[in-house]
Structure 1
């Protein structure tokens, strides 16, 4: 075929190819039209279904709240005294409101009925705590009892804490340790009689010594032990301050990896020191247990009188027989869990107890007639020729009223521990989004005039009505929840019920107290992880007992 003929046939071939290709495409489309139709119908049905669910969800609105600003939300308007700011906002927006703190949606609850929905009606959904960025570091990655998520692991930790650490039998067995430290405190105060004393500092030192004695006993002895104890207290104080500092990583979780303020790095440094110190204590105790086991065999399991909590928990580990410790293992328990539990007890137990006693003394100094009633009860029950023992506490009804009233006006944690719902749910007719930060303002609820007569007045008598046992610390009455409520109520309540009245009774019974000349009593508070006095309480003790040798 000539070149001219090929060129002249090219347009015809191109048209023929185009027609054939188009026919094939048409045939493909016709053959698959039924499949495509089914796909479009299903896609439409799914879209309509999702739209309906979204529409129904939107009919349950979020709680009301201030508008806020882009990016920062309501942060510029809430100040630093959050317990007071949130209570004031609740007067405008109601007992449940929404705030946007940076990128975090925060729901604030300020009524007993709504607290009941959170802590009881939807307890499982709200069983997780909102984990702080530095809190995860301080708790060995969230394996402690405070920040670990609700589930089998948390149940194991709570069971160990209750059955081996904070039950009545164990606390009774360790009374000798508490008694020894309280007597030492009274002796120190006697040596300072007539001089100003920082009450909160003295209570902190005593409580710290009590708790560390209960945790690891006399494992640290001599001068090295005393130095370590001082170092532990300083490190713990820095840990508490880091936990209470506002953190950009919590307000803007997407930026947490940057650790802009360096709080995470500082917390890692403190926990690293704490970790090495505990390793040293644990290794010493394991060595001692091996030595005891080689001489006494299974006898180290008999009784609880001489056992501190470290010895008890080490016996719950899945240790090999060559370690010299009985293999009464608790599945899943590790050394890291023991360290995290110890840090929980040291931070929460020491700060909350010492702060409660300091607030109690401040209220009693402010109300001398109430202090006189407490002193008269102590004279009647204990007598001026004896020292206070824990066995006296059940008879000190007025003193218990003082303690309860202090915890009403000055709860240790004004927001308790904020919760984080595992699913979206409805509370008070409003939608609470999954993953939000839910705060129950216990401080405001316990001062609510709808629940309390003369709520701002210090009146221990309100807890002394005949047959009225509704205001206990269990959290069953949602008007009074200083230690929280629900399945994650504070596990340390049994210890607090002993230590706060015992410390307060001891210093009230042994000394008369007065303010230094010219000093005005400052009752202002400072918001933080613990609700502490803004100005430390300084008072002067003078001996009250008839026998100074006591």
Structure 2
């Protein structure tokens, strides 16, 4: 009871403080008036602003607000001004025309508590260190040439996954799709970064890793009151920071062990450096700055979390949609049987000849973007957009989810319909950041570093799962399509499905 009284008194003092400050600002002479009005938006409440309006699904709430206030919307979240772009044209202005004004990200509890004080690639300040890390990742893993170089790793790990799924089918057990995908992707990325598989088999260890990555994406995406009302941050009212610290401790144990093991095997890789070797070799390459073990672990965290969770989420949503729409699965099977047959596995070289598969992938990116709200950016210079004034330090959110479901942009946007990308115009739409109708990875200089890799993984892995198996739900099970909001948009109830091999048995053992 004493705690409740204390909280109530604290809230009253905060309301009084911010109310008096706002009144004082109104009474004082105004200088340097804004050349244009702020964008329209909801008024919100004292102290907390529009935070209570976001609810459990901020992407949905913001999309509804945009229907009323327009595609460029301003709102207060606590003491921070936030502008939300909810149309392709608005996204283009912020992420292309004014990209240089929004090249940095705000540093809140998530990057501080989880990502080693924002020493990672995702949240690092735009500058020499960020550019070096980005360049190293492109050279060693994410660039076009690097992706081509580790195609054999992708093929081998998808083979391991398909064999594991065949084992589940023989035993009559349903497959947990997200766990299978996480297992395969973590091993792919582990071999490129660390020259080793992370997991030898699907089991408790891979499941725990998947759970940690999901928790990371969920916690990092939750609106944390302390980020927006710093005066109460010390109270951690939602318990989010406590959970972040505990998650960071668990993740750090794993990353520290990986770093030690990697260092101990350095002699075995002489002349064949992996990505981490290349990053470590650049330790002293910055004037006035040095890369430390903290930077290495933060980068590992980026690559393992974003590389495994975002792509696997998109594939899982696509599988779920096809289980609800068997005609789509049947059409995909027909295309693959015509192009590939059933005596061998799908190869990445087959994908350009599979337009319907690529259309399914684009439709999954549209309806179920892995990152519903583009990671926030912050305005470093005041600017104008569509006649509205955007003050310095305003935060930017691009509602990718809303753009993908806008009836002014897409016909029947709530329908999962790959045929929309089979038309001459639809087939030209590219999800890698230049077509603002479809920007699942964002756009501009802070576009997701793994955008190119994400498209390759989704097309190849989803295509392999479709080609290799028939899919059905267990008897009596209905598909739940509820979403859980976070940095990545997770299925609330993971897909658990029965698979039946379609290919000749020998195809699953091809090297």
> Same fold judged by TM-score > 0.5?
yes
Which runs of structure 2 are paired with 1:72-151 in the superposition (5 Å)? 72-151=48-127
Q: Return the offset for 1:344.
A: 0.6
The answer as to whether partners of 2:133 and 2:279 remain within 8 angstroms in 1 is: no
Aligned match for 1:271, one of 229, 248, 251: 248
Q: Does 1:161 align with 2:127?
A: no
Q: Return the offset for 1:467.
A: 6.9
Aligned match for 2:276, one of 310, 315, 319: 310
Name 2:423's counterpart in structure 1: 465
Aligned match for 2:263, one of 274, 278, 286: 286
When structure 1 is superposed on structure 2, of 107-116 and 307-316 the one drifting more is: 307-316
CA distance in 2: counterparts of 1:189 and 1:273, whole angstroms: 29
The runs of 5 or more residues in structure 1 that have no matched partner are: 1-49, 294-299, 319-328
Name 1:518's counterpart in structure 2: 476
Aligned match for 2:451, one of 493, 497, 504: 493
The answer as to whether partners of 1:96 and 1:107 remain within 8 angstroms in 2 is: yes
CA distance in 2: counterparts of 1:292 and 1:374, whole angstroms: 44
Aligned match for 2:182, one of 184, 198, 204: 204
CA distance in 1: counterparts of 2:311 and 2:148, whole angstroms: 18
CA distance in 2: counterparts of 1:99 and 1:198, whole angstroms: 40
Q: TM-score, normalised by structure 2?
A: 0.86
Q: Return the offset for 1:104.
A: 2.5
Q: Return the offset for 1:513.
A: 0.6
CA distance in 2: counterparts of 1:134 and 1:493, whole angstroms: 22
Q: Structure 1 residues 517 and 232 mapped into 2: Cα distance closer, same or farther (>3 Å)? A: closer
Q: Structure 1 residues 126 and 199 mapped into 2: Cα distance closer, same or farther (>3 Å)? A: same
Q: Structure 1 residues 509 and 451 mapped into 2: Cα distance closer, same or farther (>3 Å)? A: same
CA distance in 1: counterparts of 2:205 and 2:64, whole angstroms: 45
Q: Structure 1 residues 364 and 221 mapped into 2: Cα distance closer, same or farther (>3 Å)? A: closer
Name 1:368's counterpart in structure 2: 326
SS of the residue corresponding to residue 100 of structure 1 reads strand
Q: Does 1:417 align with 2:375?
A: yes
Q: Structure 1 residues 239 and 81 mapped into 2: Cα distance closer, same or farther (>3 Å)? A: closer
CA distance in 1: counterparts of 2:82 and 2:92, whole angstroms: 18
CA distance in 2: counterparts of 1:449 and 1:262, whole angstroms: 38
Q: Does 1:435 align with 2:413?
A: no
SS of the residue corresponding to residue 351 of structure 2 reads helix
Name 2:11's counterpart in structure 1: none
The answer as to whether partners of 1:513 and 1:542 remain within 8 angstroms in 2 is: yes
CA distance in 1: counterparts of 2:407 and 2:205, whole angstroms: 48
Q: Return the offset for 1:361.
A: 0.7
Q: Structure 1 residues 396 and 249 mapped into 2: Cα distance closer, same or farther (>3 Å)? A: same
Name 1:383's counterpart in structure 2: 341
Name 2:304's counterpart in structure 1: 346
The answer as to whether partners of 2:140 and 2:274 remain within 8 angstroms in 1 is: no
Name 1:444's counterpart in structure 2: 402
Aligned match for 2:314, one of 356, 360, 369: 356
Q: Return the offset for 1:259.
A: 4.2
CA distance in 2: counterparts of 1:83 and 1:231, whole angstroms: 28
Q: Structure 1 residues 347 and 281 mapped into 2: Cα distance closer, same or farther (>3 Å)? A: closer
CA distance in 2: counterparts of 1:135 and 1:548, whole angstroms: 47
Q: Return the offset for 1:269.
A: 4.1
Q: Does 1:170 align with 2:121?
A: no
Q: Does 1:537 align with 2:503?
A: no
When structure 1 is superposed on structure 2, of 74-83 and 230-239 the one drifting more is: 230-239
Q: TM-score, normalised by structure 1?
A: 0.80
Name 1:14's counterpart in structure 2: none
Name 1:398's counterpart in structure 2: 356
The answer as to whether partners of 1:133 and 1:256 remain within 8 angstroms in 2 is: no
Q: Structure 1 residues 268 and 195 mapped into 2: Cα distance closer, same or farther (>3 Å)? A: closer
Q: Does 1:65 align with 2:41?
A: yes
The runs of 5 or more residues in structure 2 that have no matched partner are: 1-27
Q: Structure 1 residues 159 and 222 mapped into 2: Cα distance closer, same or farther (>3 Å)? A: closer
Name 1:244's counterpart in structure 2: 221
SS of the residue corresponding to residue 378 of structure 2 reads coil
CA distance in 2: counterparts of 1:347 and 1:221, whole angstroms: 15
Structure of larger gyration radius: 1
Structural RMSD (CA): 2.7
CA distance in 2: counterparts of 1:148 and 1:176, whole angstroms: 32
CA distance in 2: counterparts of 1:516 and 1:220, whole angstroms: 30
CA distance in 2: counterparts of 1:90 and 1:426, whole angstroms: 19
Q: Deviations over 1:441-484 (max 9, x none)?
A: 11111222222222222221222333766421232221211110
The answer as to whether partners of 1:220 and 1:281 remain within 8 angstroms in 2 is: no
Q: Structure 1 residues 76 and 167 mapped into 2: Cα distance closer, same or farther (>3 Å)? A: closer
Q: Return the offset for 1:549.
A: 6.3
CA distance in 1: counterparts of 2:80 and 2:125, whole angstroms: 19
The number of residues matched between the two structures is: 477
Q: Deviations over 1:91-120 (max 9, x none)?
A: 211112222222222222112222111111
Q: Return the offset for 1:266.
A: 4.0
Q: Return the offset for 1:220.
A: 7.0
Q: Deviations over 1:295-332 (max 9, x none)?
A: xxxxx33xxxx5432233233334xxxxxxxxxx5664
When structure 1 is superposed on structure 2, of 131-140 and 404-413 the one drifting more is: 131-140
